[in-house]
Amino acid sequence: MARRGRRRLVVPGAEAGLNAFKAEVMRREGYQVDPNRPDDVKYEVAESLGVPLQPEGNGQLSTESVGHVGGKIGGAMVREMIKLAQQKLAERSEP
């Protein structure tokens, strides 16, 4: 069962900020990212992983292979969020 379109952000209006964050993180990871279409980076990531992800018709792909693509993107974003949080905490503890 496809879940496309069900993803909702907890903070209304945060989508633009999250897309900009994704674009910046993936650019730092070495991928070409169109800032107007940051979600398209998944195709470049998929290609680098050998996953034949297409804009439409990916029913033949396994959940595992598609998960590798999302994991690479999400993992990079989470690592960056942790780094930013650690920096903020360090700034607060400095006299």
Side-chain-facing half-sphere of 47: CA atoms under 13 Å? 8
CA–CA gap between residue 85 and residue 55 (Å, rounded): 34
What pLDDT sits at residue 92?
A: 87
Is 90 exceeded by the pLDDT of residue 68?
yes
Backbone angles phi, psi at 56, to 5 degrees: -135, 155
Is 90 exceeded by the pLDDT of residue 94?
no
Does the pTM of the predicted model rise above 0.85?
A: no
Is 90 exceeded by the pLDDT of residue 44?
yes
What pLDDT sits at residue 3?
A: 53
DSSP string, 3-34: -TT----SSTT-HHHHHHHHHHHHHHTT----
